[in-house]
């Protein structure tokens, strides 16, 4: 691939879009921060979404917008972001937080010593917003006691810090709140990152809007050919489940194919090839959303890329799709 093509692909993959559920979630997080700053209230928030809907990206953008600043008298860090590791322990989570807070020796001390340091450092640098990603890794009471303890620990940390907190995770994080009444009370405000929440538009239409917003940033134009908009909307939705991560993978792969073949536009056949290469190798013929023979249905049955059980199994250890 020549240098210019490489640069164009790299620029496309870094593109950030303000699609409706992403934008609403972003605005709501900022609103929680503003409410806190105005002294009005502490508003916590739960944001759920399947993998690849943009939750971690949202956190990254918030951190970028409110970065740590080094001032002559002290460092100021408005946002503390932490991603809960799988099989989390209190010490492990505290250590991640200490690293983020710039502690020179995050691994040092017992669990409770680390916790005390987290609270002290967070107050010292003026943390005003806590973002807890992958909250689904905190399991409910039925699971291992360590993870149950992490849930309780987070609860007491919130009480100690007294800043707005956003929990982000897979939809099953709602189970955690269902069984943990105290956390539920603190996170009564909830949002979903998925498409399909606009009463005036079908989910397929929303997905097509997202496709075109992304396509407008592509270095090579997309050509719809003789296809109808409605049919393309369904194909795109079934191919990506309406998730921005899959849409992006699909388009990046199609752009690469177009560069390789020196095409001056991307057609449905490139998307079909990209779907097979990036999303589902078994997705051929009737099971490829961009093929002429496609069955026009969601690909969520057993063994298919958007099977619910499969996604749950992946989060227990197998690598995720995205």
Contacted entry of ligand ADP, Mg ion, none for residue 321, CB cut-off 5 to 8 Å set by kind: none
> Cβ–Cβ contacts within 10 Å for residue 166, how many?
29
- Say which entry of Mg ion, ligand ADP, none residue 91 contacts (CB below 5 to 8 A, set by partner kind): none
* 56 touches ligand ADP (CB under 6 A): yes
Q: Kindly tell me which of 245 and 287 has the beta carbon lying closer to ligand ADP.
A: 245
CB–CB of 247/289 below 8 Å? Answer: no
Q: Return d(Cα 257, Cα 171) in angstroms, integer.
A: 34
User: Binding string, 19-38, against ligand ADP, x = CB under 6 A?
Assistant: ---x----------------
**242 scored as a contact of ligand ADP (CB under 6 A):** no
57 binds ligand ADP (CB under 6 A): yes
CA dist., res. 153 & res. 149, Å (int): 6
Using CA atoms, how far residue 112 sits from 87, 117, 206, in Å, is 19, 9, 47
Beta-carbon contacts of residue 131 (< 8 Å; ≥ 6 apart): 29, 59, 62, 63, 79, 80, 81, 82, 165, 166, 168
- Least Å from the CB of residue 134 to Mg ion: 6
Residue 163 burial (10 A CB sphere; 0-12, 13-18, 19+): buried
Asked if residue 137 binds ligand ADP (CB under 6 A), the reply is no
172 touches ligand ADP (CB under 6 A): no
53 makes contact with ligand ADP (CB under 6 A): yes
Q: Which does 248 bind (CB under 5 to 8 A by kind): ligand ADP, Mg ion, none?
A: ligand ADP
Cβ proximity to Mg ion: between 235 and 243 the closer is 243
Q: Which residues fall within 8 angstroms of residue 147, CB to CB, at 6 or more apart?
A: 87, 88, 137, 138, 139
Least distance (Å) between residue 83 CB and ligand ADP:
9
Q: How many CB atoms lie within 10 A of CB 65?
A: 13
The binding site for Mg ion (CB under 5 A) comprises 55-56
With CB under 5 to 8 Å by kind, the binding choice for 22 among Mg ion, ligand ADP, none is ligand ADP
Alpha-carbon distance 312 to 50, whole Å?
Answer: 10
- Residue numbers at the binding site for ligand ADP (CB under 6 A): 15-17, 22, 49, 51-57, 244-245, 248, 322
């Amino acid at each position: 691939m020549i240098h210019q093509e490489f640069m164009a692909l790299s620029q496309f993959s870094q593109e950030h879009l303000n699609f409706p559920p992403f934008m609403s979630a972003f605005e709501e997080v900022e609103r929680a921060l503003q409410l806190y700053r105005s002294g009005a209230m502490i508003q916590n928030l739960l944001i759920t979404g399947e993998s690849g809907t943009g939750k971690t990206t949202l956190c990254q953008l918030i951190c970028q917008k409110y970065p740590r600043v080094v001032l002559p008298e002290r460092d100021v860090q408005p946002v503390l972001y932490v991603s809960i590791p799988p099989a989390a322990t209190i010490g492990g989570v505290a250590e991640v937080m200490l690293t983020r807070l710039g502690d020179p020796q995050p691994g040092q001390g017992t669990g409770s010593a680390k916790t005390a340091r987290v609270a002290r450092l967070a107050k010292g640098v003026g943390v005003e917003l806590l973002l807890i990603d992958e909250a689904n890794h905190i399991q409910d009471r039925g699971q291992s006691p360590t993870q149950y303890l992490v849930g309780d620990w987070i609860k007491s940390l919130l009480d100690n810090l007294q800043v707005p907190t956003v929990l982000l995770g897979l939809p099953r994080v709602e189970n955690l709140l269902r069984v943990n009444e105290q956390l539920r009370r603190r996170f009564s405000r909830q949002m979903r990152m998925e498409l399909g929440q606009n009463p005036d538009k079908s989910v397929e239409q929303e997905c097509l809007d997202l496709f075109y917003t992304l396509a407008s940033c592509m270095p090579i134009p997309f050509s719809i050919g003789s296809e109808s908009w409605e049919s393309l909307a369904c194909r795109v939705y079934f191919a990506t489940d309406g998730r921005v991560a899959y849409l992006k993978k699909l388009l990046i792969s199609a752009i690469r194919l177009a560069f390789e073949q020196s095409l001056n536009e991307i057609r449905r056949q490139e998307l079909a090839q990209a779907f097979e290469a990036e999303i589902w190798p078994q997705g051929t013929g009737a099971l490829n959303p961009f093929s002429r023979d496609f069955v026009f249905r969601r690909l969520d049955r057993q063994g298919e890329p958007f099977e619910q059980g499969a996604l749950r199994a992946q989060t227990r250890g197998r690598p995720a799709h995205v």
